[in-house]
Chain A
Amino acid sequence: MSGSKQRPSILDKSLSRGKTEVSATAFALLFSEMVQYSHNRVQSVADLHQKLSELGQHVGVRMVELLFVRERNYKRETKLLSTLLFVKGTMWKSLFGKEADKLDRATDDERIFYLIEKEPLVNRFVSVPRDKSSINCAAFVAGIIEATLTSTGFPAKVTALWHKGTTFMIKFDDTVMTRDKQLEGR
């Protein structure tokens, strides 16, 4: 194609209202190709999780931009709990059409939170091979959460576990806890 044509700038387009939907089959097949592609390029389950998480992070940072502009009137969250509720509510609703099932705090470690989703969309179509039962394609969603938290100023590590369905373990940086305590009571 000729380079002389004026390419449209993305900023000239109005922001999508997020009402479009595609068939679940289309998403499932696309996601499956992504998992297979990643699977072919890694040696271990941990590497696969890492790859899927990176792909998810790509989605996460963009969702943050989109949602805070569209749904939150440009206002970011500053409190830890509000940010987690943003992920559980607003973010989950626009991605998966519902809120996440449950948000829990670990009793033994104040830096750790659990976000529980019994049946995540990405696992609905995946059968886990018996010899690699630790594979969890929800690592992709873990990546989305991780990017969301990290890019809103709450650096965290998020992993997907098999526990009560799928559970995302969110472990915040120490700095986050210290700052949140300072903010408390203000």
Chain B
Amino acid sequence: MSRQGVRPADSKKVSGELFTLTYGALVAQLLKDYENVDDVNRQLERMGYNIGVRLIEDFLARANPGRCYDLRDTADKIQQAFKLYLGITPSIGSWNPGGDEFSVVLETNPMAEFVELPEHCLGLRYSNILAGIIRGACEMVQMEVMAWFIADQLKGDNVTEIRIKFVKRLEDAIPAGED
């Protein structure tokens, strides 16, 4: 039996369906393990944070994005990262007057393909892992941000929208005992 595929196995890419269904398996497991959806939301965010902390290394090495001088730069880089990792290009918009808050708008959400939220899970923020990833990644480049979902196609909205707010710049802490 020969080893031929419909497409050459690209080692940098994997099937989107495998990814989506794997994520679905994780969310389903968390729903089984925890008593309520709020805990699941929190756990997903925490896992996302862990991923973000590691993902940023890969992003800096691969995309060589350079430094961000303002939040608009950061927004562009986040858009770039979505393209690189999930193969989608979200739009960036809805800046607040202060310029420290913006939205990432997804027309399609690769995390939520094949997903339908049952009645009793309407409080579930299904893709909450994305919010955690953004927070974790930004923290590693000395930015504290908050990220949360304000619209979700799974809940009948037209788009999926993540709101991101800049909180503060993290200063390099002096290691203990070296002041």
Which residues from chain A sit less than 8 Å from chain B, CB to CB? 1, 3, 5-10, 16, 18-27, 29-31, 33-34, 36-37, 41, 54-56, 58-59, 62-63, 66, 88, 93-99, 101-103, 121
Q: Distance (Å) between the CB of A171 and the closest chain B CB?
A: 21
- List the 9 shortest-distance A-B pairs measured between CB atoms, nearest first: A20-B16, A5-B156, A58-B25, A98-B5, A97-B9, A21-B13, A59-B21, A26-B85, A98-B9
Q: Distance (Å) between the CB of A146 and the closest chain B CB?
A: 14
Decide: B152 and A23 in contact? CB cutoff 8 A. no
Contact of A56 among B3, B11, B25 (CB under 8 A): B25
- Beta-carbon nearest neighbor of B149 in chain A: A1
Residue B72 interfacial (CB < 8 Å): no
Decide: A29 and B51 in contact? CB cutoff 8 A. yes
Residue B23 interfacial (CB < 8 Å): yes
Decide: B25 and A97 in contact? CB cutoff 8 A. no
Contact of A103 among B1, B7, B157 (CB under 8 A): B1
- Beta-carbon nearest neighbor of B6 in chain A: A93
Known: A7-B156, A33-B47. A24 touches B15 (CB 8 A): no
Report the bound CA distance from A98 to B54 in whole Å.
28
The tally of residues in B whose CB lies under 8 Å from a CB in A reads 52
Residue B117 interfacial (CB < 8 Å): yes
Q: Distance (Å) between the CB of A2 and the closest chain B CB?
A: 8
Hey, what's the 0/1 contact readout for B145-166 against A, CB within 8 Å counting as 1? 0000001111111000000000
List 17 extra interface pairs beyond A1-B156, A18-B15, CB under 8 A.
A1-B155, A1-B157, A6-B156, A7-B156, A16-B113, A20-B110, A22-B15, A22-B85, A23-B13, A24-B12, A29-B54, A58-B29, A62-B21, A66-B114, A95-B18, A96-B15, A102-B1
Contacts of B85 in A (CB 8 A): 22-23, 25-26
- Beta-carbon nearest neighbor of B26 in chain A: A34
CB within 8 Å of A: which of B116-173? 116-117, 122, 129, 151-157
Report the bound CA distance from A16 to B110 in whole Å.
11
CB within 8 Å of A: which of B50-91? 50-51, 54-55, 58, 84-87
Contacts of A22 in B (CB 8 A): 13-16, 19, 85-87, 110
Contacts of A34 in B (CB 8 A): 22, 25-26
Contacts of A26 in B (CB 8 A): 19, 55, 85-86
A-B contact pairs, 28 of them (CB 8 A): A3-B122, A5-B156, A7-B155, A10-B116, A16-B114, A20-B110, A21-B87, A22-B85, A22-B86, A22-B87, A24-B11, A24-B14, A26-B55, A27-B19, A29-B54, A30-B129, A34-B22, A36-B50, A55-B29, A58-B25, A59-B25, A94-B15, A94-B18, A95-B15, A95-B18, A99-B1, A99-B4, A99-B5
